[in-house]
Amino acid sequence: MQKGILTEKEKEVLHTLLLERGIIIYCLFDVTNEGINLPGSTYPCEIESMSGTVITPSKIYDFWLDWFDGHYTLGEEEGIWKEMNIEEFGWNKDRIIQIQQQLTKENSGTC
């Protein structure tokens, strides 16, 4: 992540991992760089560990992009990748609902 923006390689890795879980329409929300360079980078900070939320039209997931046992992961092995309840998001709840509505309306791609 560079200056708070995902690199093209990070977008590609996340997109691939989400596709493997059947998620094709999504928005990444509240993504935070965790400061660890991951394998597969061709230059420093091209692919870094990060955490955040994946919002789909009907579900919300916590994730942690990391490298585990020779592959990228969204945190399944550590129990971080999990479906979340909208009520757990407090003041961000309204923003998440707004994003879900927009994803439903557009019915394609990512934000």
Q: How far apart are CA 8 and CA 18, in angstroms?
A: 15
Q: How far apart are CA 75 and CA 84, in angstroms?
A: 14
pLDDT of 43 higher than 70: yes
pLDDT of 3 higher than 70: no
Q: Do β-strands 71-73 and 82-83 pair in parallel, antiparallel, or remain unpaired?
A: unpaired
The total number of structural domains in the chain stands at: 1
- Provide mean pLDDT across the span 62-75: 96
45 pLDDT tier (thresholds 50, 70, 90)? confident
**Domain-embedded: residue 111:** no
**Domain-embedded: residue 88:** yes
**Domain-embedded: residue 62:** yes
Q: Which of 30-34, 40-44, 49-53 has the lowest mean pLDDT?
A: 40-44
Tokens found for residue 21 = 């879980």
**Domain-embedded: residue 1:** no
**Domain-embedded: residue 3:** no
Helix (H, G, I), strand (E, B) or coil at 87: helix
Q: Residue 52 carries which DSSP code? A: E
- The domain containing residue 66 runs over which residues? 8-106
Q: How far apart are CA 6 and CA 15, in angstroms?
A: 12
Q: What is the mean pLDDT of the chain?
A: 91
- Provide mean pLDDT across the span 30-35: 90
- Provide mean pLDDT across the span 51-69: 96
